């Protein structure tokens, strides 16, 4: 891939899990960002241990040659929490803008079961009504307009256990929103949802011009099979090792890189592989991911 167009980041969730703070509770912010830099990454997303004052956070990252490229934001438009979501979004956007980020990754969390003790591969995930879809679309179009005024872009992170998980749900969302709203493409969540590389790659090809942020996440199908057969929750699967870094699981990332390169993708590719740090040493796996990206993507 063209090094001029693509930058490599990594998410702090491999060091400390925001949804399960007991995973990696011993890992400090400074250790986390130091190890990210040591592994060869130049950007990261934002975790719960990060200082939220740009005047404090920015110098600490600059010391390590690091910068913020995105941070998760939860929306609740389908639930009707429009004004609350917009108010919180503006604060979140202003923080990211001050940090130099230009992309805001959002996830529609209305009815989400990703943090609940519910089988993630059962029938418990939310399915939006027509009215809810309209509320989501209108809400994201508004977020896109607000972000554009700051020179920023909003993208939707499709996610297991949410109302926008499957390719069909991604299609419906992308067809409803306007061109100010982009897609955060996540290899691991699409594979987890559909169980194969083909559908994962089809979504990438279909929306490439509207993808402005990429999460590189690998999967272990044997663990996914256990999650399905034992009716386990999303977080149960994370603890067991559903996800891992690129090159350590079942996904062949070479076609992903080829499609992105051929389509002229410009932006960040972020390694995001939440595991139990006690079982998967974060620095070791970050180095493993960086080596794989160098060998397969040429960056």
Averaged pLDDT for residues 216-245: 97
Specify burial of residue 56 (Cβ count, 10 A radius: 0-12, 13-18, 19+): exposed
- How far is C-alpha 49 from the chain's CA centre? 18
Q: In which band, very low, low, confident or very high, does the pLDDT at 21 lie, cut at 50, 70 and 90?
A: confident
Answer yes or no: are the C-beta atoms of 147 and 181 closer than 8 Å: no
Per-residue pLDDT at 252 exceeds 80: yes
Instruction: Give the model confidence (pLDDT) of 144-184 as tens digits.
Output: 999 999 999 999 999 999 999 999 999 999 999 999 999 99
Closest C-alpha among 278, 273, 65 to residue 287: 273
Pick the CATH number of 6-293 from 3.30.2010.10, 3.40.250.10, 3.20.20.150, 3.40.50.10470: 3.20.20.150
Question: Contact at 8 Å (CB) between 219 and 192?
Answer: yes
φ, ψ for residue 194, nearest 5 deg: -110, -20
pTM of the model: 0.97
Give domain limits for the chain.
6-293
For residue 286, the model assigns a pLDDT of 98
Nearest to 237 by CA among 199, 191, 197: 191
> What six digits make up the tokens of 155?
């993208």
Q: CA–CA distance from 5 to each of 10, 34, 71, 262 (Å)? A: 17, 25, 21, 12
Q: Tens digit of pLDDT for each residue in 30-65? A: 999 999 999 999 999 999 999 999 999 999 999 999
Has residue 132 got a pLDDT over 80? Answer: yes
Q: Confirm if 268 and 214 have CB atoms less than 8 A apart.
A: yes
Angle at the Cα of 26 from the Cα atoms of 22 and 32, rounded to 5 degrees: 110
């Amino acid at each position: 891939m063209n090094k001029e167009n693509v930058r490599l980041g990594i998410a702090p969730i491999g060091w400390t899990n925001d949804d399960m703070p007991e995973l990696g509770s011993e890992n400090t912010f400074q250790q986390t960002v130091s190890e990210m830099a040591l592994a060869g990454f130049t950007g990261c997303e934002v975790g719960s241990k990060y200082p939220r004052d740009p005047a404090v956070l920015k110098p600490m990252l600059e010391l390590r040659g690091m910068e913020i490229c995105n941070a998760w934001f939860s929306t609740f438009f389908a639930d009707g929490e429009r004004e609350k979501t917009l108010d919180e979004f503006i604060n979140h956007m202003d923080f990211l803008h001050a940090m130099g980020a230009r992309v805001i990754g959002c996830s529609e969390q209305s009815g989400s079961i990703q943090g609940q003790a519910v089988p993630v591969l059962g029938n418990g995930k939310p399915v939006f009504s027509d009215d809810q879809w309209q509320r989501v679309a209108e809400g994201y179009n508004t977020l896109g307009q607000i972000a554009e005024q700051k020179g920023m872009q909003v993208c939707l992170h499709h996610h297991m256990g949410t109302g926008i998980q499957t390719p069909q749900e991604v299609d419906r969302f992308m067809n409803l929103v306007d061109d100010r709203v982009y897609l955060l493409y996540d290899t691991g969540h699409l594979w987890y949802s559909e169980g194969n590389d083909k559908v994962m790659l089809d979504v990438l090809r279909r929306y490439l011009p509207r993808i402005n942020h990429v999460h590189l996440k690998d999967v272990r199908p044997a663990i996914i099979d256990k999650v399905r057969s034992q009716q386990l929750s999303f977080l149960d699967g994370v603890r067991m090792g559903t996800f891992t870094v690129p090159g350590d699981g079942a996904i062949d990332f070479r076609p992903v890189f080829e499609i992105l390169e051929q389509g002229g993708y410009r932006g960040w590719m972020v390694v995001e592989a939440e595991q139990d740090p006690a079982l998967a040493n974060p620095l070791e796996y970050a180095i493993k991911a960086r080596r794989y990206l160098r060998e397969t993507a040429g960056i």
